[in-house]
Structures are given as structure tokens and as C-alpha cells.
Structure 1
Amino acid sequence: MRITRLPGDDRANGWSAILPPRSPNPPLAGEVRADWVVVGAGYAGLGAARRLAELHPAARIALIEAGEAGENASGRNSGFAIDLPHNVGSSLDELDGSHRFMRRARFAIGELDRVIEAEGIACDWSADGKYHTAVSERGRREVLEPFARELEALGEPYEWIEGGALRAALGSPHFTAAIRTPGGRLMNPAALCRGLADSLPKNVTLYENSPVTAFENSNGVTLTTPDGSLRAPKMILAANGFAERFGAFRGRFLHLVAHASLTRPLTEAERARYGVTRPWGLTPANAFAGITMRHTNDHRILIRQGLSYCPSQRFPEAGRRAVARRHKRLFDARFPGLDAVEMAHTWSGFVCLSRNAAPGFGRVAPNIWAATCQNAVGVTKGTFGGILAADMASGEDNPLIADMESLGTPSPLPPRPFLDMGVRARFARELWRNRHEA
């Protein structure tokens, strides 16, 4: 099977641009054999490879990445490890589903806590909680108030913040109210990916800049790259949206593109005018119309806004420049008095969703397991998906596997061009209906 569509990320990732230079691992060269191969060095692939190494210390494990650790989608997100479901329902079944998600997410965060501390990974990993914010009274009434009631039903702590207290916490007058939850983590996602990749157990070999151009599954898998080939009896597929190229979950993934910008560090005078010293992370009441933001440890502000359908998994350079201008206008509207602050970096990242929000998880062939389609919650869902795929493939009895399987599998999508028309119409409708949260 030839693979002709390969990852094509821009070279503008701000999270990695602010880090020291890193030398990638050598690409795959020649004919290589391993006991296990993991495809994709994002959170799922890194979690799977580490778990396999722990379960099989004598095995040869190959982790193959088309680009470089921290430069793929996992290193481009907004830097949240989220421990709560985005949408909590009030029925008993929905609340039970929320508890199962929290078990998995907090398991992933616990594993990341452990590895980051043990390996000394410097990635600004912090337990500063998260604000879920509303701009309008309607957003407060329709999103935040039900969310507060549902957190109470779950027995989860939260803090309701509004008015001057919220403005003081965020340094912006733009929001009417917020719910702050103490769980979860914030981080530089590129630094986290780099650290996880550079601290893998000794029986894992990471091959970077090694895009797979052909795949065969016959008496074991064979992967071909521009400079070599890799053969192994068993494989874990952790290539997220590109899993389709390997024949898994075809016609079941929606491909979106999201955009982010990161400012330069605020000067001392700007920091005094801004008035906020603590880092924070903010998610909007509506993901289509609202903006995700961060204030980082080094006094930068991140804006992530703009989510659109992108089946080509490509975004043009001219479009990125237009995004940077739009993000600057949004920044100025939210932070009056900081108009001299420029967007130092603007980049794009590709997101994989399923129609029914189910993951691409489990055994997809007798010798292949998948941990894909994190539905835009990549740090936690990718981490626990990869670890649980490794457990399943190894025959480990982990009760969280049943939690994953209870989510089902991605449902089929309509054929194109009907899919394209439907998705674009849905996006336009959501933006219009939720324009009060812009």
C-alpha cells in the first residue's frame, strides 16, 4: 500500500521556536527489524512506546515519526492537559460517562507527572487550573450555570469568578464570568513532547524525519521510508488523522485546522500595566466563536482562534499571514493598553475528530492496534490512548481498557462532496448562532 499524503506542517510553531535548538534523532536507514513498531511520536505514540518498553524490557521497540518530536500536532496545541469533560450531561448515564473520562484523564496526568519528575523534563508543567469563560450574559446562562450544576453533581470543586475579580485574574475586561477548576495542567507542549521523546527507555529507538511511504501487513508489518525499511511482527498505529493512510478508520475522520499565535514576552513596563503575574489558561464557552488563551510563565500571551474544515490537511502561507493579522486585532480588543505587543509567532495545527466523538482505538488487525482520533483533547486522550493500546496489545488486564471500549468506534461519514457541504454549513451555522461569545 503506497502512502502519498504525508504530514505537511508549517515550520512556524511558536512553542518550539522559543526553546533551545534540538538535534533530532537520525532517520531510518537501511533494513531494520524490531519486535514492535509504533507509528507517530505524538502523545499517543510516546505513551505507547514507553509502556511497551516497561512491559517488555528485552524487546526491541521502534518508534517512527514523519517529522520531529514537538513539531507535529502534539507540539502545536494550546498546552492544556484537561481532566474534565468538555460537555457534561446531567443524566445518570452521562454523569457515569464523565466519571469514566475523568478516571482516564487523571490516569494520564498522573503518568505524565511521574515521568516529568523522574526525567527532569523542563516544559513549564504546572497545576494552575483552568478558566472556562463566557463573554455574554447568554453564554453565562446557557453554558456556565449548567456547567456549575453538573460539576456539583459530579462532586468536583470549582470557583465562580466574575466582575472585577475576573478582570484582575485575567487582565482583560472582555469576559463576564468564569468557572475556575483546579485540576489539569498547563505546559509548553513542544517542550513536553521533546522531553518525552528524549527520555525514552533504552530499548526504544526513535527514528525522526522518517515519513512512511509504503505499508504492507503480511507475516508482520513492513514500513518503507525514503531511506530504509522497518519490519516488525506487531504495530501500534498512533498517527492520528493519518491513520487512514494505513487503511484504518477510512471515511470516519473529520480533518480540521486550528490556528494559534504567541506574543513576544511582555516588557517590564507592559507587565506592570497588565497587572497579572500568575500563568493562566482559558477555554471559551463556545469553541467555534470563542478564543482559547494562555498567559505563560515567561509572560507571553497565546491566542488560539479559528477552526475550519480542512480535508486536504494543508494550509497556505498566505492564510497564515491573514490569521496573524486577525489574531492581533483580537488581542488588541481583549487587552487594551498593550497595543504595542506584536504576535511573534503564528502557526497552524491539524485536528482529527469523529462524528460521534468516539476514538479510533483498539485492535484493527490481528497484529495491529490503534490509538488515534483524540477529538481535540490530545495531551490526556493521546497519552491514555497510547498506554492502553500498549496494554491491550500486550494482554495486560487494565480496567480502563473497558472504559475506552465503551466509547465505541468512529461512525461513518457521508461521501464527499456531500460531507464538505454539510460540514461547512454546520460551521457557518455554529458561528452565527454563537456570535455572542466572540
Structure 2
Amino acid sequence: MTQARIPQDDKCNGWYQLLDKPASARRLNSCEDVDWLVIGAGFTGLAAARRVAEIRPGERVMVLDALRVGQGASGRNTGFVIDLPHKRDLEGNNVTRKQKLLALNRAAVSDLGELVTLHGIDCGWSLAGKYQGAVGERGLEYLDHFETLLKNFNYPYRRLERDALEPILGTRHYAAAIFTDNTALMQPAALVRGLAKTLPNNTELFEHTPVVDLSHSGGQWCATTPEGKIRATNLLLGSNIYSQEFGFLKHRVLPVMTFASMTRVLTDKEMALFPTGPHHFGLTPADHAGTTVRLTPDRRLIIRNQYRFVPRYHDDLAERLRIRQGHRDSFDIRYPTLSHVPFIATWGGACGLSRNYTAFFGKVGENAWMSGVHQSVGAARGTISGKLMAELATGQNSSQLADMLAVSGTPALNPPQPFLSLGVKARMKHAAWASRAEL
């Protein structure tokens, strides 16, 4: 039996704060027998639960989440669902692998878009594409490299220089950017809440129901919660970094938290900075340690930068205040005429990285499957891998499933503490210093 640490909500997630207050959480307070237990109600867990319930409509599927849907990592990202392979994957020489990753990511964008339309999920979904921006010399070197990769991959794009970018981004801070289509922008907490509300009828969701112990014996998985217990024939893990608390991928995950700050709604006068419509966009940095910027459809600006290694999965409040000031500096240098506009929220969201930049997908035990360690691209990867995890577990065959297995692997083993923390923190500190002009 493994004792697990329980996720905590810091009540700082700006996306979640914008949602209407939900009905009271349904908590598990009984002993239940189910066919399928899904741990985690983020992009991965919800996609897995939906698909297994579709394939096995006569079987009982149960989803547990330690928090309310939207409070966890899936509701804390900056709201991108990106079709392109991650930077590290895009840099590889294996064109076939890159094509598989692109097809899988595009399937995720398509699947989510169809669910948003089918169920009328109000999450600001828009196939608006994204900009990859460069500020100074270092950023331009990265942007030129990105352009070369896109050319070699035969991926269509448009490059825009400072004058063309200014009316779109509302700032002359960026020297150049590359625009690519087929990235969706959305409100992540609203999206995952909508996905949870529209699960098939044979699926039950319990929130504020953390799994504190997980064991396997006699062909059954036994999950203990603070007030109940579940016996399940099959286990699907969408718990990402917390999966190692149950003994899966132990010492192979690097929990890293990224941070964002959100403004209040901009006034009509303030929106004059953005004369070129549509009045929302998403920009990621050419230098991966730089700054992400979003203008949302409801006229809020979001700044995201800075990373912290969080081996206990949570950040420090005093450190977050320093991070917020860093966001303020990044915001003011981009939008000096909006320096009076306050942030209404600053929050962090944890993601799973690995030292060899490898995501995991596959079987982890008897009748147990997992997808995780998604290298900061969890919206797309989590969605499609959750769906395919259910297909793998139910014995389905498809080209998509074969592709997912082909592009996945085993995250590298981490060195022991304290060497791990020292090494990761030193590397992050150096990256922040080297990329300071792009922040």
C-alpha cells in the first residue's frame, strides 16, 4: 500500500476565478465496485473516461479528482492547444516521427473542437493560430532556427516584422514573429469543466475525492479515499506528476511549475492599442525561457514566464510575490501605457518533464495504464493520449494508437536528491539569465 500526497488548491487560479460558482461537489463516501477507475479529471483523465465509456457502454466508469474540475493543472495553462510538435521534438531528424506527432496533435485539436461544438461548451474556443515571437538578438536566432525547422518540415507559416506586428500585438516590443495556423485558443478551466459535465451516462465523477492509498491484489485495484473505497477491475491514470505517488514512474518525473498573471478587463480606450482584429491572440516565445502573452476574447492580457522546480508539487507564496513582480516588469516593458492596469491573479501550474524529454504512454501494471510526463504540452498530448489509452486498455487497434506507441518512451531515471534539485535549479537559473532580454 502506497501513501500518497494530496493535491491542494491555492485558490489563485485566475481562469477558475472567472467561472460561475459550481454546484456542491459530489464526494465519494461509500464503498463501490466498478469496471474502470480513472484517477484525475484533467485533459488526460477526461478523454480516457469518455472513450472507455463509449467503447464499453454497459460497464461502470468512475472518475476521481482531488480538487474541483478546473482547479488542477489542466485548468491552469495559458489556453493553447498546439498542433506542432514540441520544440525538442521538432528539432529531431526523424521526419516520420514529427509527422506522427503532428497528426496526433491535430487529432486532439479536432476532437476538442468537435466536443465544444457538440455540447456548446462556453470556453472561448477559437482556431486563432499562434505567434512565435522574438524580442532581441537571441530571440531572433531562435526564431530563424524555428523558421528553418518549419521549412524543412514543409509546414506553412507567415513571418511578420515589427511594423506588421504592432497593430496585432499592441506593442513594438517584438522584432519579429512567425504565425502558424491550427492552434486553438481557449479558456482552460471552462473547457475542462465543460468536458466533465458532458461525460457519457455510464460515467460518474467525484470531486474533492483524493486517492490517499492505492493497492492491487486478487486481480482488483483498491483505491482508498478519505471517506470511501473503490474496488476496480481496470485502472487508468490521468494523474500525471502525482502518479509517482502511487509508485508509477517513480524518480522519473520532474515536476516543474510555470507561472502566469492576468489583468482586469481592458477598457475601450485601452483596447485602442489593438486596432487589428480579431481582438484576441496567443504568442509563445521563440526562446523557450522567454515570455508567453495572450489577449483573451474578454479583453484581458496574460503574461506567463518563469519556471520553478517543485518536487513537492507546490510553490512558495513569498516566491510567487517575486514572480508577480517579474510579470509586472515584463508587462510594463511591452505595454508601458497600460502600466496602471492591475493584475487580478497570479498563479502557477505544474507540469511533468523528463530529463530525456520523453513522454510516457502505456501499461504500468496488471490492468493498469498511464499517460503522462507530457513535456508542457498537456492540452493536446493529454487529450489524444487519454483517448488512445482507453483504446489500448480495451484492445482496440488503429493507426493513431500505433503512432502514439511509436512516439512514446520511458522517461529517464533522475539522480538522487539533493543532486537532482541542485542540478535542475542551476539549469533553470542559467536559462533565465541567458534569456533575460526575452523576458
TM bucket normalised to smaller: over 0.9
Corresponding position: 1:199 with 2:198: yes
Distance, in Å, in 1 between the alignment partners of 2:17 and 2:303 is 16
- 1:107-150 Cα offsets, whole Å, 9 max, x none, are 1111111111111111000011000011113321x221222222
CA contact (8 A) 2:220 2:233 kept: yes
Aligned to 1:179: 178
With structure 1 as the length reference, what TM-score do the two structures score? 0.96
**How many equivalent residue pairs?**
436
Aligned to 2:304: 304
Query: What is the Cα deviation at residue 339 of structure 1?
Result: 1.4
Q: In the superposition, relative to structure 1, how do residues 138 and 273 fare at CA in structure 2: closer, same or farther (>3 Å)?
A: closer
Q: Which amino acid aligns with 1:210?
A: T
- 1:133-171 Cα offsets, whole Å, 9 max, x none, are 11113321x221222222122221111001211111100
CA contact (8 A) 1:88 1:147 kept: no
Q: Which amino acid aligns with 1:284?
A: P
CA contact (8 A) 1:261 1:346 kept: yes
Aligned to 2:284: 283
With structure 2 as the length reference, what TM-score do the two structures score? 0.96
Aligned to 1:10: 10
Q: In the superposition, relative to structure 1, how do residues 125 and 412 fare at CA in structure 2: closer, same or farther (>3 Å)?
A: same
CA contact (8 A) 1:122 1:191 kept: yes
Aligned to 1:188: 187
Aligned to 1:420: 421
Query: What is the Cα deviation at residue 401 of structure 1?
Result: 2.4
The residue correspondences of 1:247-396 to structure 2 (distance < 5 A) are 247-275=247-275, 277=277, 278-288=279-289, 290-396=290-396
Aligned to 2:150: 151
CA contact (8 A) 2:124 2:297 kept: yes
CA contact (8 A) 2:4 2:211 kept: no
Q: In the superposition, relative to structure 1, how do residues 276 and 20 fare at CA in structure 2: closer, same or farther (>3 Å)?
A: farther
Distance, in Å, in 1 between the alignment partners of 2:132 and 2:93 is 24
Distance, in Å, in 1 between the alignment partners of 2:95 and 2:58 is 42
The residue correspondences of 1:89-100 to structure 2 (distance < 5 A) are 93-100=93-100
- 1:287-325 Cα offsets, whole Å, 9 max, x none, are 22x111100001100111111111121212233333223
Distance, in Å, in 2 between the alignment partners of 1:222 and 1:134 is 50
Structure 2, unpaired ranges of 5+: none
Query: What is the Cα deviation at residue 175 of structure 1?
Result: 0.8
CA contact (8 A) 1:127 1:183 kept: yes
Give the share of equivalent positions with the same residue, in percent: 39
Distance, in Å, in 2 between the alignment partners of 1:51 and 1:81 is 19
Kindly report the root-mean-square deviation, in angstroms, between the aligned alpha carbons of the 2 structures: 1.6
- 1:195-226 Cα offsets, whole Å, 9 max, x none, are 00011110000010001111111121010101
Q: In the superposition, relative to structure 1, how do residues 157 and 355 fare at CA in structure 2: closer, same or farther (>3 Å)?
A: same
CA contact (8 A) 1:88 1:95 kept: no
Q: Which amino acid aligns with 1:313?
A: Y
CA contact (8 A) 1:132 1:283 kept: yes
Query: What is the Cα deviation at residue 419 of structure 1?
Result: 1.0
CA contact (8 A) 1:9 1:72 kept: yes
Distance, in Å, in 2 between the alignment partners of 1:90 and 1:294 is 23
Q: In the superposition, relative to structure 1, how do residues 110 and 90 fare at CA in structure 2: closer, same or farther (>3 Å)?
A: closer
- 1:11-64 Cα offsets, whole Å, 9 max, x none, are 111111112111254111110111101000000000000000110011100001
CA contact (8 A) 2:90 2:98 kept: no
- 1:248-271 Cα offsets, whole Å, 9 max, x none, are 100100011111111000012211
Q: What SS does the aligned partner of 1:35 have?
A: strand
Aligned to 2:161: 162
Q: Which amino acid aligns with 1:310?
A: V
Aligned to 1:434: 435
Q: In the superposition, relative to structure 1, how do residues 349 and 90 fare at CA in structure 2: closer, same or farther (>3 Å)?
A: closer
Q: Which amino acid aligns with 2:157?
A: Y
CA contact (8 A) 1:9 1:349 kept: no
Q: In the superposition, relative to structure 1, how do residues 172 and 376 fare at CA in structure 2: closer, same or farther (>3 Å)?
A: same
Q: In the superposition, relative to structure 1, how do residues 59 and 379 fare at CA in structure 2: closer, same or farther (>3 Å)?
A: same
Distance, in Å, in 2 between the alignment partners of 1:88 and 1:35 is 38
Aligned to 1:246: 246
CA contact (8 A) 1:40 1:238 kept: yes
Q: What SS does the aligned partner of 1:233 have?
A: strand
Query: What is the Cα deviation at residue 92 of structure 1?
Result: 8.2
Q: Which amino acid aligns with 1:264?
A: R
The residue correspondences of 1:54-65 to structure 2 (distance < 5 A) are 54-65=54-65
